[in-house]
Amino acid sequence: MIKVSIIGAASYAGGELIRLLLAHKEVEIVHLTGNTYAGQDICAVFPYLQGGIQREIIALTQENQRQIIADSDLLFLIMPHGQASGMAKDILAAGKKAIDIGADFRFADAGVYEQWYKVKHQAPELLQEAVYGLPELYRKQIAAARLVGNPGCYPTATILGTYPLLKAGLIKDNSVIIDAKSGISGSGRTPSSLNIYAAASQNMKAYAVAGHRHTPEIERIFSDISGNAQVINFTPHLTPMIRGIHSTIYADLRQSIDGEELTRLYKEVYAGETFVRVHDHGSWPESKWATGSNLCHIAVTADQRSGRVIVCSVIDNLLKGAAGQAIQNMNLMCGFAEDTALPLTPVYP
């Protein structure tokens, strides 16, 4: 039985962490922090929890941070960019573990982080120790880690969808184009002119074209897999659905290979992976096949006319793309069965 706290609980990822942890028999939630709702019960934020949990949201302050850390074995950090790196130092100094749901520990190089995120990194000395929390690629390192940088939602779907190609050396350098579609919950709980219903419903739009911050994160891991630096094109689109990432990946094949063979390769690579489901050639995954679960569904084909490979990879951005993957990482870091409390079936339709 371990004790965990959630820093930034009044977020969608925080809500999903609470849902999953309430069903996790080896974990006790000790603290929930938040600024906007400090002093209120978590049920004021998520009224559907009434009857399921009672817990006051407390403000995180310089005064109580030490106590919050002392009371916890592991902390989930959902904080503005640049703040988690500061807190992580104190968590590790106190001998506790941390999983950062934000971007502070997704990069090996503080310079890249600071260039794309426009904030100062407060603990560059921890970047070498921090592990990129994608268990399908870095399971052993995660199991041994004190500090995990939980991957972004787009990178999770995209890296899982491209990994077999890069590992097998099948595609040309710098040829990957990623056209990604995300549900609106990816923009968080803060109301804005972009995410209000009347604007976002019945609408599709690209954003952050040629400049989204998940670009260098994907490039880092692509380079790590392939062994040489990779430049990609990454274009995210706001899609009128609450949850879901659908990543469509295009790349130039080095040699002719057909879709059936590619599918076999993918099935081999992911054999034994609980959460990755490679579908038969010709069956294309729907983003909804992952909703509410920790699954990643993938399919692949080759277009013989153009010599390109096309992959579709889908996840639930709040689960495998955030809270679910964080629990998966926690399970590994704490020695629990990797799938404990993680839904293996989506809520469909």
Q: Which of 169/211 has CB closer to a second copy?
A: 211
27-33 vs 2-7, strand pairing mode: parallel
List the interface residues with a second copy, window 137-156 (CB under 8 A): none
Nearest to 322 by CA among 168, 134, 196: 134
Indicate whether 201 belongs to the interface with a second copy (CB under 8 A).
yes
Q: What does the block give as tokens for 72?
A: 């916890």
Stretch that binds a second copy, among 70-78, 88-96, 131-139, 186-194 (CB under 8 A): 186-194
Rounded CA separation 198/81 (Å): 29
Rounded to the nearest whole angstrom, what is the least distance from the CB of residue 70 to a second copy in the complex? Answer: 28
SS (H, E, C) 160-171: HHHHHHHHCCCE
Catalytic residue among 43, 153, 296, 312: 153
Residue with tokens 């030490």: 66
Distance in Å, CB of 339 to a second copy, minimum: 11
Query: Among 24, 37, 46, 68, which residue sits at the site for a second copy (rule: CB under 8 A)?
Result: 46
What's the CA dihedral at 302, 313, 130, 186 to 10 degrees?
A: 140
Binding segment toward a second copy, per CB under 8 A, in 54-62, 97-105, 204-212, 329-337:
204-212
From 18-26, 96-104, 133-141, 154-162, span contacting a second copy (CB under 8 A)? 18-26
Q: How far is CA 273 from the centre of its chain?
A: 17
Q: Among residues 62 and 202, whose Cβ is nearest to a second copy?
A: 202
Taking CB under 8 A as the rule, does residue 25 contact a second copy?
Answer: no
* Lookup: tokens for 205: 């739009």
As a whole number of angstroms, the distance between CA 238 and CA 240 comes to 7
Interface residues for a second copy in 218-247 (CB under 8 A)? 231-233, 235, 237, 239-244, 246
Residue 59 or 231 having the CB closest to a second copy: 231
From the CB of 290, what's the least distance to a second copy, in Å? 8
Piece of 95-103, 118-126, 139-147, 182-190 that binds a second copy (CB under 8 A) = 182-190
Residue 238 β-bridge partners: 182, 205
Is there a contact between 10 and 188 (Cβ–Cβ < 8 Å)?
A: no
199-215 in b/e burial notation, b at 16+ Cβ within 10 A?
Answer: ebeeeeeeeeeeebbbb
Please, what's the b/e burial string for 242-257 (b: 16 or more CB within 10 A of its CB; e: otherwise)? ebbbbbbbbbbbeeeb
Q: Smallest distance, Å, CB 199 to a second copy? A: 6
Structure tokens at 102: 């934000």
Query: Which of 26/90 has CB closer to a second copy?
Result: 26
Q: How far apart are CA 230 and CA 215, in angstroms?
A: 11
What SS3 state is found at 242? Answer: coil
Task: Tell me, residue by residue from 48 to 87, as one string, x for binding to a second copy by CB under 8 A and - for no binding.
Answer: xxxxx-----------------------------------
Task: Give the C-alpha separation, 13 to 6, whole Å.
Answer: 10
Of 9, 290, 327, 330, the one binding a second copy by CB under 8 A: 290
- 334 noted as active-site residue: no
Residue 349 engages a second copy in binding (rule: CB under 8 A)? yes
In angstroms, give the least distance from the CB of 301 to a second copy: 6
* Region class of 39: left (phi > 0), else alpha (psi between -120 and 50), else beta: left
Residue 174 touches a second copy, criterion: CB under 8 A: yes
**Residue 90 is a binding residue for a second copy (CB under 8 A):** no
By CB under 8 A, tell whether 257 contacts a second copy.
no
Nearer Cβ to a second copy, position 149 or 285? 285
State the catalytic residues. Answer: 153
